[in-house]
Amino acid sequence: MATSLKNLSDYDPASIPEHTDRTFGIVVSEWNETITGPLAQGAVDTLIKHGTKPENIHLHYVPGSFELPLGGQFLFESFMPDAVILIGCVIQGETRHFDFICQAVAKGCMDLGLKFNKPSIFGLLTTDNLQQAIDRSGGKHGNKGVEAALTAIKMVDLKNRLPQL
């Protein structure tokens, strides 16, 4: 999705399925906390706005983005939420570290969802600079945390609508 063409926080509230009794885990990277804090708040606020009980939202922190998938695994193993949202921000630097971290988190997020057969939502900003991160964490392009929460709700709904074997 090209965020220059879409506000991440723009959506039709009527399109959000009911999910009152569902539980959500949110794992947030402490690294780049001026970005990840607003992303996490956007996710929490969106879940509550659409009916999730505050006590059904479990927010936990990990040191950096690389640790997000393992943090998500800990949540799935601990209390089996209906979905886990991984929130972080990696900003391009002068070395290839950016590429390794982004690829590892993306693969880890995918593997996590497949391992537990539950939605694992990729809420990692992968930006070229700080301004792009600001623009996507409550700035002119909205808040990726809002989009991650909506994705979690919709994926939980899809899983629960389909027949289980």
Please say whether the beta carbons of 1 and 150 come within 8 A: no
Residues marked active site are found at 97
- How far apart are alpha carbons 100 and 157 in whole angstroms? 32
DSSP assignment of 132-164:
HHHHTEEETTEEHHHHHHHHHHHHHHHHHHSPP
Kindly state the tokens that stand for 27.
């794992």
Please say whether the beta carbons of 105 and 97 come within 8 A: no
Q: How far apart are the first and last CA of the chain?
A: 33
DSSP assignment of 70-94:
HHHHHHHHHH--SEEEEEEEEE--S
Residue 160 has phi, psi (to 5 degrees) of -80, -20
